[in-house]
Amino acid sequence: MYKIPESVLVVIYTEDMQVLIMERADKTDYWQSVTGSKNFADEALKVTAIREVQEETGIVVADRPGTVQLSRLSDWQLTNVYEIYPVWRHRYAPDVTENTEHVFGLLVPNVIPVTLAPREHLQSRWLPYREAANLCFSPSNAEAILQLPIHLAK
């Protein structure tokens, strides 16, 4: 089954602009925020973001009335369309060359330990936002992180 070429990027951060980044298991020295594709075409982007955060970091985003909100997920209303890197293109249908990425932010109360999905990530770091952006291999991920001060001010 091919991946759906629509994904989320979730920048996880603290109020003092520490950002969580993780090293990919399938590409050493490729650092990134949480990313992931929709599981099915009509999956809501917010649902995709919540699922991917939990799968990749173990962080549970409470999204039900009456639950304690330990984190805040927000849609940054930013969409990137980019060419899928050749190394990962085999995961998509043969005629698919571009992915549409929707950016979210997840504010957590402080730097917290995460439980990485070992098949996806080797290690994680909490870094000041500019350092995190500089370490990202993906230009759209780096740009999203650099926009953090704008979104934190909202």
The answer to whether residue 106 is domain-embedded is yes
What does the pLDDT read at residue 154? 77
Per-residue pLDDT tens for 74-128?
Answer: 999 999 999 998 988 999 999 999 999 999 999 998 999 999 999 999 999 999 9
Per-residue pLDDT band for 62 (boundaries 50, 70, 90) equals confident
Q: Tokens at residue 74, please?
A: 């927000």
118-123 contacts, C-beta under 8 A, 24 or more apart: 118/25, 119/25, 120/22, 120/24, 120/25, 120/55, 120/56, 121/22, 121/23, 121/24, 121/25, 121/56, 122/22, 122/23, 122/24, 122/25, 122/28, 123/22, 123/23
Structural domain of residue 99, as residue ranges? 6-152
Please report whether residue 115 resides in a domain. Answer: yes
d(CA 5, CA 110): 33
Do 14 and 110 touch, CB atoms closer than 8 A? yes
Q: How many domains does the chain fold into? A: 1
Q: Using CB atoms within 10 A of its CB, is residue 21 exposed (0-12), middle (13-18) or buried (19+)? A: buried
Residue 57 lies in a domain: yes
CATH number at 25 reads 3.90.79.10
* 1 found inside a domain: no
Position 148 in a domain: yes
Residue-level pLDDT at 69: 54
d(CA 70, CA 26): 31
User: Band of the pLDDT at 64, cuts 50, 70, 90?
Assistant: low
